[in-house]
Amino acid sequence: MPQVVSVRVRNERGRRVRLWIPVLPVLLLLSPVLLLVLASAAIACLLWRINPIRALYASWRLLCALRGTRIEIEQNRTAVLVDIR
């Protein structure tokens, strides 16, 4: 599971902002919302006749596979880099 998400932003004026976001504390803070999302997802899975356990397992594997992902977006003189570690 990813531990830290690093976000770097460079705006048009050349000013740079760097943020490190720890994943586990954010997940703990958002856990009440995550419970509502899980319940909604389970209902949606049942409506579309998808096995909710397999959907949860696939979502977990997708989250774990995000480790090492780098997303770089650059437009004109603005740039955003997201690094998932």
Residues 72/81, Cβ–Cβ less than 8 Å: yes
Give the tens place of pLDDT for each residue, 19-62.
999 999 999 999 999 999 999 999 999 999 999 999 999 999 99
Give the closest residue to 6 by CA, choosing from 60, 72, 77, 76. Answer: 72
Q: Per-domain residue ranges for the chain?
A: 4-84
Give the tens place of pLDDT for each residue, 52-70.
999 999 999 999 999 999 9
Residues 70/82, Cβ–Cβ less than 8 Å: yes
Based on DSSP, count helices (H) and strands (E) in the chain, helices before strands: 3, 4
